[in-house]
A and B are shown apart, each in its own frame.
Chain A
Amino acid sequence: MKELAIIFIGSFIVNNVLLSQFLGLCSFLGVSKKTSTAVGMGGAVTFVITIASIVAGLLYRYILVPTGFEYLDTIVFILVIAALVQIVEMFLKKNAHALYSALGVYLPLITTNCAVLGVALKNVTNNYNILQGVIYGLGTGLGYFLAIVILAGIREKYKYNDYPKYFKGTAMTLITAGLMSIAFFGFSGMI
């Protein structure tokens, strides 16, 4: 139990997926203009990462390892994630319309998000079992959610402020992310 808690806190805030591991930065910089959009994107990423870490973990453990094809993990994982995103989208559309209208728009954007593939691969390199992998995936997803919502909140605040025109857009977002990254350093003594 203690070990699971450490994995969760570690992936959630201490080694934040965006601010210290730099995975999934495209969407972090792109879809963080409005808090409402950021919440949707964060929710969708959390959802997909958690499911993907279960599926990828099961596939690796029960198909790739017994057949001796461990080295194909990158190829298998990326295809599985691409297919999974499609299936999740179709399933939600048919069976969970409330969830679909909240997350559906963001699902097609997630296939190329490197955080998802990153978590699947890290579960393998860290030798996590299925449960540990799921907790790691959930923590990473929530970490993504936290970081993108905070960034969107800050961006909404400074949107109408006066600052040099060459800093408009990506540059200012990057500086904000850098300052957030410094703030998250404060958690590094926790585990």
Chain B
Amino acid sequence: MDSPKERLYNGIVKENPIFVLVLGICPTLAVTTSAMNGLGMGLSTTLVLALSNALISALRKMIPDRVRMPAFIVVVASFVTIVQFLIQGYLPSLYDSLGIYIPLIVVNCIILGRAESYASKNPVIPSLFDGLGMGLGFTLSLIFIGSVRELLGSGSIFGAQILPLADKAAGKAGYTPISIFVLAPGAFFILALLVVIMNIVREKQAAKGKPLAPVANSCLCNDEDALEDAVKSDNPNVKEAIDNLKEKQKEAEGK
């Protein structure tokens, strides 16, 4: 059995969902306009992830294999609805700035991915900590990306002014915010740079003989090559999709 401490380390460092596995890109790009939004989104996802992991793990012997995906989705969606109400009730300003991305936690690949690959096979306590670790890894990454974007885009972190702003009228020298970084294109650029840095780290670690965990494909949303790789992960859904793909291709070639 995996110890809670090992699970936390695994989620935050070894298999960090964003930096290492590159999962859950949609919310990562959308809500990291500031460090505060990143923190809010990260913690809501952590809560959903830990609770749904624990419940799915507790129910794992009762859920028939064939309907497990819909069952997981119902569990996750229920927790998301609860979290949505909590945020709406107690943190209305955060609710306004995250908007539609709170209910969309349901389709975050990280959550279903962990339910499928860990919680449905392991006891409750490790699953709970697996969810916590993954969630904290996600939160820390979001805070990091949010801080970089906020710093470049408005010169502040968590709303506190770090770089003194230039003031032309008063003739004061200082930082001129690059506002594109808090807008949509900046999100793509920052994530691109992050992927490049991780590619370099990946190569360095592989040269040392300590390769990082491979980029995950559990989303069912990658291209054909990626789907082929995912077959090895033994996910029946992916397998089905690939069998379908191959059949279609054969049919198409036959014509």
Contact = CB atoms under 8 A, between A and B. Distances in A.
Interface of A: 19-27, 29-33, 37, 71-75, 78-79, 82, 101, 104-105, 108-109, 111-114, 117-118, 121-122, 125, 166-172, 174-175, 177-179, 181-182, 185
B104 A166 contact: no
A72 B82 CA distance: 10
Contacts of A74: 77, 80-81, 84, 103, 106
Contacts of B220: 108-109, 111-112
A60 B169 CA distance: 54
Contacts of A26: 25-26, 109, 219, 221-222
A108 B226 contact: no
Contacts of A111: 220
Interface string B104-115: 101101001000
Nearest to B103: A74
Nearest to A172: B192
B248 A25 contact: no
Given A74-B103, A166-B200, A179-B185, A112 B221 contact: yes
Nearest to B188: A178
20 contacts: A30-B221, A33-B223, A37-B224, A72-B81, A74-B80, A74-B106, A75-B74, A78-B73, A78-B106, A79-B77, A82-B70, A104-B244, A105-B245, A109-B241, A121-B104, A166-B203, A167-B192, A169-B195, A178-B188, A178-B192
A182 B179 CA distance: 12
Contact of A25 (B25, B78, B85, B100): B25
Task: Give the bracket for the number of chain B residues in contact with chain A.
Answer: 35 or more
B191 interface: yes
B1 interface: no
Given A121-B104, A179-B185, 18 more contacts: A20-B184, A25-B26, A26-B25, A29-B25, A30-B226, A31-B221, A72-B81, A75-B77, A78-B106, A79-B73, A79-B74, A108-B220, A117-B106, A121-B100, A125-B100, A168-B199, A174-B195, A181-B185
Contact of B100 (A71, A118, A178, A181): A118
A121 B103 contact: yes
B55 interface: no
- Residue of B183, B184, B189 with highest tally of chain A CB at under 10 A: B184
A125 B103 CA distance: 12
B84 A175 contact: no
Contacts of B219: 26, 30, 112
Contacts of B29: 22, 25
Contacts of A108: 220, 240-241, 244
A136 to B, nearest CB: 13
B207 interface: no
Contacts of A27: 221
Interface string B57-96: 0000000000001100110011011001100000000000
Given A21-B30, A108-B240, A171-B195, A31 B73 contact: no
B41 interface: no
A32 to B, nearest CB: 8
